[in-house]
Each structure stands twice: as structure tokens, then as C-alpha cells.
Amino acid sequence: PYSPPIAADGLVPRNKFGNVDLYLMSMLPVGCVWIDDDVAWRAANDLGIDYAAACVRFAFSGRFAVPNLKGIVVCAEFEGAILRRTA
């Protein structure tokens, strides 16, 4: 069974490409939330909050697999601040 990584000190655990693999909701790192908003990254960046793009699936084009990034993953304690900023 897969056990997702644990967020610590307000930092989101990432893969080697700098994003979070989120094919199933059970893959969400412990202590984090997924914000499915196209401009949430801008709010997180303005507020100085650590975030990572969420890779939800891959699109296959010829011989290449292109990641489909949708929304961001942040630590749960920052969710309210980002949602207020994007509203």
C-alpha cells in the first residue's frame, strides 16, 4: 500500500520534477490540501506560501507523455488565506 509523504514546517513534499503526483486523492500528502483553481498559484506566490503544482494525469502525444497540471497543493494551514485572496 502507498503511504503519502508528510508535510513539515509549512513545506509541501515534491517529486523530483517539483510537483505533486495526485492521480488519486489518497496520494495527497498528509497535512496538505488540493486547491483546484487556475489562479491559486498567484495568490500563494503573492503571500509567500510554499506550494507545488498538482499533476493529475498524463496526456500522451505520439511517443511523449505530457503532464497535466491542475491546481496547487499547499499545507492545510494556508488554505483559508489563499481562498480569501482568490475570492
Assess contact for 50 and 74: CB atoms under 8 A. Answer: yes
CA distance 82 to 87: 9
With a cut of 90, say whether residue 2 has pLDDT above it. no
Across the beta sheet with 51-61, the strand order is 20-21, 51-61, 64-75, 32-35
pLDDT in tens, 8-41: 999 999 999 999 999 999 999 999 999 999 899 9
pLDDT bin (cut points 50, 70, 90) of residue 61 is confident
Residue-level pLDDT at 87: 84
Residue-level pLDDT at 13: 96
Q: What is the pTM of this model?
A: 0.90
